[in-house]
Every structure is written in C-alpha cells, then in structure tokens.
C-alpha cells in the first residue's frame, strides 16, 4: 500500500475571517472559566488567585495561537476522496471517500454567518466520523456541497 503523499499537493485554505469566530469562542470560554474561579477568592487562599491566573494565561496563549491554527486548516478534492488537514503540532489528515458520503450539511452560526462564512459537515456510514470543514465562504460552500454531492452520487452508482 502506498503512503499518503501530501507534500506536493495544493491545499484550499479556509477563509482568514474564520479567526474571529475562533477567537471569540476561546475568549468567551476563558472569561466564563475565570469568572467561575473568581468565586474561589472568597476563601481567601492564595490558590484561588493562582487558579484564576492560570485560566487567564492559558486563554491568552490559546488565543495567540489561533491565527496560526486557522491557517493550518485546509482541504483538497482528490480523484477518489476529500482530504482534510488540521493542526499545527499534531497534524491530522482525514480522507473521506466520495462513495461513503451520505449527507453534506452546511451550518451557519450567528458569528460565522455575520462574517459570510459556513461550516460543511460530512455524515458518512461510520458513526464516529465527524468531519467538518470550517470557515468556508458561503458562496463557495454552496458550490462545494453541490460538487461533492455530485461526486458522491456518481461513486455510489459505480460510474
């Protein structure tokens, strides 16, 4: 079996605007966790302040790496499958064969929709496969979904 060769491939990147929904999500989560840990201050112990400081520092570090992490997300349409790449330090490649695609769903949350973006979610025969391409411009998402549905139907029909 040949190894997956991804070095010479050209990747389609997600929109750079996708940084904002990611940043907003991390900052809101960090604020909520920091607020929860602030209740520990009432005990008057030093560890209450330390836990809040750790939450704030972790939130800042995660937010600082968000632009690079978003730039690392990419996908490519190959002959027999869709290949998705995510991650910086721990890079993950997921290949979804066109013939296994059962449903391609377009999701638009409020922040993502305000930026004109969409998330494409793929449902396959495997229950554990949760493949999502985030941050695709809305008009590109429609075209990509239609193209992938066409490819999936042709592969399932054996053409």
In a domain, 65, yes or no: yes
pLDDT of residue 44: 78
| Boundary of a domain, candidates 30, 52, 70 | 70
Assess whether 84 and 140 both reside in one domain.
yes
CATH of the domain at 97: 2.30.29.30
pLDDT of residue 10: 86
pLDDT of residue 155: 79
pLDDT of residue 127: 64
Assess whether 111 and 89 both reside in one domain.
yes
Assess whether 125 and 95 both reside in one domain.
yes
149: containing domain: 74-156
Assess whether 78 and 128 both reside in one domain.
yes
pLDDT of residue 1: 42
Assess whether 103 and 122 both reside in one domain.
yes
In a domain, 8, yes or no: no
pLDDT of residue 3: 53
In a domain, 139, yes or no: yes
In a domain, 5, yes or no: no
Assess whether 81 and 125 both reside in one domain.
yes
Q: How many domains does the chain have?
A: 2
pLDDT of residue 41: 84
Assess whether 91 and 109 both reside in one domain.
yes
Q: What is the 3-state secondary structure (H, E, C) of the chain?
A: CCCCCCCCCCCEECCHHHHHHHHHHHHHHHHHHHHHHHHHHHHCCHHHHHHHHHHHHHHHHHHHHHHHHHHCCEEEECCCEEEEEECCCCCEEEEEEHHHEEEEEEECCHHHHHCCEEEEEEEECCCCCCEEEEEEEHHHHHHHHHHHHHHHHHHHCCC
pLDDT of residue 136: 95
Assess whether 107 and 57 both reside in one domain.
no
Assess whether 127 and 63 both reside in one domain.
no
Mean pLDDT by 10 residues, the chain (159 residues): 58 95 94 89 84 94 95 93 92 89 90 94 77 93 92 75
Assess whether 82 and 141 both reside in one domain.
yes
Specify the pTM.
Answer: 0.82
């Amino acid at each position: 079996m040949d190894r997956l060769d991804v070095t010479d491939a050209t990747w389609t990147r997600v929109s750079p605007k996708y940084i904002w929904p990611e940043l907003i999500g991390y900052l809101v989560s960090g604020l909520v966790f920091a607020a929860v840990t602030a209740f520990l201050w009432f005990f008057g112990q030093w560890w209450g302040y330390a836990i809040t400081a750790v939450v704030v520092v972790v939130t800042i570090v995660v937010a600082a790496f968000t632009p690079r992490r978003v730039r690392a997300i990419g996908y490519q349409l190959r002959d027999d499958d869709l290949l998705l790449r995510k991650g910086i330090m721990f890079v993950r490649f997921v290949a979804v064969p066109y013939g296994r695609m059962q449903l391609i769903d377009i999701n638009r949350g409020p922040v993502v929709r305000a930026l004109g973006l969409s998330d494409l979610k793929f449902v396959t025969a495997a229950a554990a496969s949760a493949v999502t391409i985030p941050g695709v411009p809305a008009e590109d998402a429609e075209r990509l979904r239609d193209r992938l549905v066409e490819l999936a139907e042709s592969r399932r029909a054996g053409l």
